[in-house]
Amino acid sequence: MCTWFGEEWSELKAKALMQINITPKKFGDAIESDINKIEELCNEYKYWEARDFVYEKLKGRPDKTRILQRQVMKIYFFILEMFLIDPFIFVDKEGNKQNLTEIEFVLKVAGPIIDIIFSDVQHLVHLKWGETVSKATAVGRKIDLQVICRGKNQGKIVELSHSECARRTTPTKIINDRSKCLRTNKSVLDKYLSHDLSDEIIKNSAVIGLQLAALYGQIIGVDLLDNGLYFGFEGPLLRFPTQINDITVLKQTLEALYFFKESIVHKAEALLCLKDSDLFSNIFHTEIISKPHHCKADFTSPTYFTPQKDKRNEIRLLSSNHHI
């Protein structure tokens, strides 16, 4: 963007970000205290004691008023148990990276953690892992993780977020996934804005997704700020532990992932509050029923997707200029 806007880009970006919330909430005192205790024990190489501490926190009947705290402890237990069973799951004894595939990274760490985070909202959303075709994109792009609203709004499946996963952090792959993720989430945003939602709900319309590469990642998103003016933005960085003594990186990552969840749940709840009309109206008067009346209703514009045969040339060009 600096190539097009020059020195003005930083100021324009700052103004746009004033309209978008990209700051995760910090964990409360009780969770913070538990995490500090776990990190303290691990810092003293008392890994089994840390595991036992978390295990004690999870004993007993689940308390509905402490769902978040229980989920966080489940994640820490999962991470500690994983490394205690196999300390070299991601790096060998010499510190070299293990040769894992994209799906192995997802199955071993990101997938289980994200599943735990969304475990209490399965009545609202469905996590669809694997390369599945998106119906929000006119060209049918395959998405690594789709978050879909439970139930059908006027007979249609509504996608709420797209995320991409990779095994390596090479510039070419990162740029390719970033471009794809922003464009497909822009399509998700357009579909979301096609519903007759209130102006109050639309104030927080940004669609966010995850871009994951090996044990690293970042929250990215896109919002519609004005007539035809879409703004793609970067959120917090993520990093999963490579070894058990690296567990201190987990807290910030979890705070970011709960921010990701909160944004999605907000949209799912808004859609489920819309009243479905009767069967005959859905068939004969769909356009009238579904016509939105909010402030961004007429601002959307079509999404451009690079033709497959031209994609390699575009990626090479972006890779050569990624430092700009």
* CB 203, CB 223: distance < 8 Å: no
Task: Indicate whether 155 pLDDT > 60.
Answer: no
CA 26 – CA 29 distance, rounded (Å):
9
Q: Give the angle subtended at the CA of 186 by the CAs of 183 and 187, to the nearest 5°.
A: 95
Least confident of 29-33, 139-143, 193-197, 301-305: 301-305
Beta pairing class for 207-213 and 159-166: parallel
Sign of the CA dihedral with 50 first, then 214, 181, and 4 last: positive
65 alpha-carbon distance from chain centroid:
25
Strand order in the sheet with 142-149: 125-133, 142-149, 159-166, 207-213, 216-226, 229-239
Return d(Cα 45, Cα 33) in angstroms, integer: 19
Q: Is the C-alpha dihedral spanning 97, 100, 102, 106 positive or negative? A: negative
Arithmetic mean of pLDDT, 301-312: 64
Q: How far is the CA of 215 from the CAs of 24, 188, 202, 239, in angstroms?
A: 20, 26, 33, 6
Q: For 9-67, write each residue's pLDDT tens digit.
A: 777 778 778 888 889 999 999 999 999 999 999 999 999 999 999 999 999 888 878 99
d(CA 209, CA 264): 9
Tens-digit pLDDT profile for residues 53-87: 999 999 988 887 899 999 999 999 999 999 999 99
Write down the residue that tokens 């324009």 correspond to.
12
Q: Which residue has the tokens 């709900």?
A: 201
- For residues 171 and 309, the model is more confident at 171
String of DSSP letters for 138-149: TT--EEEEEEEE
Residue pair 35/76 in contact by the 8 Å Cβ criterion: yes
- The helix (run of H) or strand (run of E) holding residue 162 is strand 159-166
Among 149-158, 195-204, 285-294, where is mean pLDDT lowest? 285-294
> What pTM, to 2 d.p., does this model score?
0.87
pLDDT above 60: residue 255: yes
Q: What pLDDT score does 312 carry?
A: 55
d(CA 299, CA 224): 8
188 burial via Cβ count (<10 Å: 0-12, 13-18, 19+): buried
Range list of H helices, the chain: 2-5, 8-17, 29-43, 47-58, 67-85, 102-105, 111-117, 171-193, 199-202, 250-272, 279-284, 286-290, 308-320
What pLDDT shows up at residue 206? 93
Q: What is the mean pLDDT of residues 235-248?
A: 95
Which tens digits make up the pLDDT trace of 192-239?
998 888 888 888 899 999 999 999 999 999 999 888 889 999 999 999
d(CA 285, CA 277): 10
Average pLDDT for 140-147: 88
